[in-house]
Amino acid sequence: MKKMKTVSIVLVLGLLMTLLAACGGGNNEGSGGASPSGSAGASEGAKNSDPVTLTFVISNTEDTTAFTKVFEAYEQQTGNKVELQALPGGDYDNLIKTRFSTGDFSDLFLMQPGTKQYVKLRAEETLHEWSGESGVWDNVIDSIKQAQVENDKIYGVPYGSTGMMGVFYNKEVFKQAGVDVPKNYADLIEIAKKIKAAGFTPFYEGVKDAWPPQVFYYTGWVTQVDPAIGEEGVAKLNRNELKFTDIPELKDLFAKQKELKELDLYQKNVMAGTYDEMQNEMGDGKVAMAFMLDGIISQMEQKFGKDWVANNLGFFPFPSETDQGTAMITPPNQLMVPEKAKNRDAAIELVKFMLQPENVDLFYANKPGIPIFEGATSELYPVQEDVKAFIDAGKSQVNIQNRLTASFVDFSKTLQNFFLDGDIDKAIGEFSANYQKDGKAKLLEGF
């Protein structure tokens, strides 16, 4: 009996020790995963003896193929894994904000461009600051870098291609109607009238989807409003010292959109217009033009193939009263790393890995676009070459939304109402009031 008791005690002790050892092992693994030494391997190119799994959060509206390719290379080199978490695009901002407020940080995430996001995410407290980081800014085009700077600090690393907004058109329809790209705004209206006379729909507007009509104003802004108010005007808007209602050139944009409707240059049932239907009708050669952003390129590629995009899709900026206008560009999305991320150091190293020239090229090989890195190569469609020509000629400007800290809240709703009642003063008044409301809600200085 005594013997049995001794054996039992030994067995229990043995089991306890095994359990404790297992727990200890787990702890080591956990701490090792987050340790800087573990992440250092990424930059050194040697595989980690203690690999970690990084979480990368992205909107499900983004094509993840190019990221996946880069992450595969990263996994091969370091042994670390990257797990992609795609959140619903419509609520992406809110989901990220909610995760931040509950301390549920991913290791790395993709965010829309611009310093506006810093306010939204309370960057000073929550995000890693990149401006002094080595191995990050060596190849980034300076204007793109500057678009990320606020108070000499940068909390997001731009990654991807320059986006654009303007007038996308079907070259074949233009050919059949016997017209060419406009030389100025009056010419654009004349061209649209000729296209209508030839039996095509000159412009398509997705009012039902709410967001598309905004593009008219963003792309019109760089051609018409920026030259009028200058950099100082934009700075004043940022400080709430200038009101939208006090900018006649902006008011004129509302008048111009109203004119297009009154001249019957939009599709039938304009209120029911959707982005999807616009692509179909433009692809089928029924619609000539749309004020749109560059997302249309990949969408048309999916629906009508690469050849169609290469041969049929054209681009020109919103024309000014006197010339072809200025191309509106947007910086790419930015990569952000939360300071409290579990694998923060490894995530920083991953960003540096992604910025290495061969990995940048690998990204563009899988997602062609206008590069933001010097020396990077990317195969461009003619429609993208058209924009690049404007950028190279110094005739481009970053989207006003990416230059202001407060947002154009509910602008799409304002425009839906404007399409219904055509009341310019009411629309611009509401636009201005909502901008100020957002500034106040974000507790911005001057609002």
Judged by the rule CB under 8 A, the positions of this chain that interact with other proteins are 93-94, 97, 101, 119-120, 122, 207-208, 210, 268-269, 271-272, 409-410, 413-414, 416-417, 419-420, 437-438, 441-443
Nearer to other proteins, 96 or 348 (CB): 96
- The 8 Å CB, 24+ separation contacts for 47-53 are 47/77, 47/78, 47/79, 48/78, 48/79, 48/80, 51/78, 51/79, 51/80, 51/81, 52/80, 52/81, 52/343, 52/346, 53/80, 53/81, 53/82, 53/83
| Cα gap 20→10, rounded to integer Å | 15
Closer residue to other proteins (CB): 87 or 372: 87
Nearer to other proteins, 277 or 301 (CB): 277
Compare residues 3 and 268 and give the one whose CB is closer to other proteins.
268
> For other proteins, which is the closer residue by CB, 306 or 413?
413
Q: At what angle do helices 36-44 and 2-34 cross, to 10 degrees?
A: 50
Check the CA dihedral 389-395-400-405 and report its sign. Answer: positive
User: Least distance from C-beta 441 to other proteins, angstroms?
Assistant: 5
Residue 166: is it exposed, middle or buried by C-beta count within 10 angstroms (0-12/13-18/19+)?
Answer: buried
Nearer to other proteins, 43 or 416 (CB): 416
Return d(Cα 339, Cα 355) in angstroms, integer.
Answer: 20
For residue 13, with 0-12 CB atoms within 10 Å meaning exposed, 13-18 middle and 19 or more buried, which class applies?
A: exposed
Give the pairing type, strands 161-170 and 313-316.
antiparallel
DSSP 411: H
3-state secondary structure 275-343: HHHHHHHHHCCCEEEEEEECHHHHHHHHHHHHHHHHHHEEEECCCCCCCCCCEEEECCCEEECECCCCC
Token reading at 210? 């709410």
CB of 121 to other proteins, least distance (A): 10
Which residue, 176 or 416, has its beta carbon nearer to other proteins?
Answer: 416
Distance of closest approach, residue 278 Cβ to other proteins, in angstroms? 14
Both structure tokens of 290: 């749309």
- Nearest distance, CB of residue 410 and other proteins, angstroms: 7
d(CA 191, CA 170): 13
CB of 194 to other proteins, least distance (A): 25
Contact between 228 and 247 under an 8 Å Cβ cutoff? The reply is yes
Shortest CB 192 distance to other proteins, Å: 22
Q: Which is nearer to other proteins, 120 or 183 (CB)?
A: 120
Residue pointed to by tokens 């995009």: 309
Identity of the residue, 97 or 183, whose beta carbon is nearer to other proteins in the bound complex: 97
Q: How far is the CB of 56 from other proteins (least distance, A)?
A: 23
Smallest separation, CB 208 to other proteins (Å): 6
β pairing state of 161-170 and 370-371: antiparallel
Residue (2 or 268) nearer to other proteins, CB: 268
Q: How far is the CB of 271 from other proteins (least distance, A)?
A: 4
CB 445, min distance to other proteins, A: 12
